[in-house]
Amino acid sequence: MADILSQEEVDLLLSAVSKGEIETEQQTPYEPVQAQDVAAYDFRRPERVSKEQLKGLQSLFEALARELSIALPPFLRTVVRVDLVSIDQLTYDEFILSVSRPTSLTVINMAPLEGNAVIELSPLIVFPIVDRILGGKGAMISEPREPTEIENRIIYRIVLMILESLKRSWEQLIEFKMSIVSQESDPLIVQIVAGSDMVILVGYEIHIGNAVGSMNMCIPLIFLNPILDQISQQTRFIRRMTTEVAEQTRARIFKAIRSAIVPLDVILGKARLNVSDLMKLQVGDILQLDTNKDQLLPVEVGGVDRFRARPGRIGERAAVQLVALKRDE
């Protein structure tokens, strides 16, 4: 057991320290911390997708919108426009709470990725689609309701078309073998990941004739992680290729324009005649123009008045000298 100092010994030690008889450890002064930019971080909502990866996802989902705008019109016999509205990161619970009830939810398997995703079609667009496929004009219902069994079979076919379009838009990155797992109308029943897990929510606006509705795709981030780096790399490659192609195209257009032949006309002057005088004109007649010898002449390029010129001669040939651009009147 360690010895315990008496009160007298403690007093002697304190007295020696105060007189400088015992050296004490000098504390190293702390260096001042330089001011740094501090970013807020919410541990309940970790942002795990970089800006570069989001740009890559945006280009892929824009490609899906274009594919659907091509695939749906022949099937629905009307004009269809699909617009990408948003790409957000949120928790699965937040997605479920944002979905209205009833609605049309389809759980899809994203093989070869491990896991399921959800496609939600709002009633505002589901029932016009069903009405058109059954021979109607795409009428909307007054109040949302759950789809019937027959309507669910029609929605099943539409979702299969969406999956085919998704495969085509992502084929340069991954070869999907997706399938439909189930269809539900109550979002609280669908639980593909834990409520606190982060998901990518992709929002679309669909225009079918006069009907406008939304489509949302909810993809758990944990299932996209294996290909996120590939997405950002592909985006950089596509951007580089797009820039190179744009420069080459610009050079070809510039070369074509430079070699194009356009008419250039110098207007010596104008005269106004009535029809009777015009009919009496003969070879050798002289027409008085509305210009004088010192006046600059207009020069038209492709029918557009562009320059002003002074008339003259070069050898035995008539010529003009460009002296100014036409001023806007």
- Phi and psi, residue 78, nearest 5°: -160, 170
Reduced 3-state DSSP string for 57-115: HHHHHHHHHHHHHHHHHHHHCCCEEEEEEEEEEEEHHHHHHHCCCCCEEEEEECCCCCC
The tokens of 276 are what? 């009777």
pLDDT at 247: 78
Query: In this structure, are 271 and 305 located in the same domain?
Result: yes
Inter-residue contact 190 to 184 (CB < 8 Å): yes
Query: In this structure, are 151 and 294 located in the same domain?
Result: no
pLDDT at 170: 85
Closest by Cα among 150, 137, 99 to 121: 99
pLDDT at 1: 47
Residue 201: inside a domain, yes or no?
Answer: yes
Query: In this structure, are 160 and 309 located in the same domain?
Result: no
Per residue in 195-218, pLDDT (tens digit) is 888 999 999 999 988 889 999 999
Query: In this structure, are 119 and 233 located in the same domain?
Result: yes
For 38, which DSSP code?
-
Residue 14: inside a domain, yes or no?
Answer: no
Residue 7: inside a domain, yes or no?
Answer: no
Query: In this structure, are 227 and 293 located in the same domain?
Result: no
The tokens of 215 are what? 């489509």
Concatenated DSSP letters for 257-286?
HHH----EEE--------HHHHHT--TT--
Residue 65: inside a domain, yes or no?
Answer: yes
pLDDT cut 90: percent of the chain above it: 21
For 305, which DSSP code?
E
Residue found under tokens 């439909």: 180
Domain containing 157 — which CATH number? 3.40.1550.10
Inter-residue contact 186 to 88 (CB < 8 Å): no
Query: In this structure, are 197 and 307 located in the same domain?
Result: no
Residue 163: inside a domain, yes or no?
Answer: yes
**What's the predicted TM-score (pTM) here?**
0.58
Domain total for the chain?
A: 2
Residue 309: inside a domain, yes or no?
Answer: yes
Percent composition of the chain: helix, strand, coil (DSSP 3-state, to 5): 40, 25, 40
Query: In this structure, are 116 and 233 located in the same domain?
Result: yes
pLDDT at 81: 92
Query: In this structure, are 276 and 156 located in the same domain?
Result: no
Walk along the chain (329 residues) in steps of 10 and give the mean pLDDT of each run: 68 72 56 57 58 81 91 89 91 90 90 90 90 84 84 92 91 86 90 90 91 92 80 60 69 84 88 87 86 85 88 87 78
Per residue in 55-102, pLDDT (tens digit) is 888 888 998 999 999 999 988 888 899 999 999 889 999 999 988 888
Query: In this structure, are 89 and 233 located in the same domain?
Result: yes
For 187, which DSSP code?
G
Query: In this structure, are 163 and 299 located in the same domain?
Result: no
Residue 9: inside a domain, yes or no?
Answer: no
Cα(176)–Cα(298) distance, rounded to whole angstroms? Answer: 65
pLDDT at 241: 52
pLDDT at 2: 53
Residue 2: inside a domain, yes or no?
Answer: no
Domain that holds residue 100: 51-241
Residue found under tokens 């050296």: 23
Query: In this structure, are 124 and 206 located in the same domain?
Result: yes
Query: In this structure, are 172 and 69 located in the same domain?
Result: yes
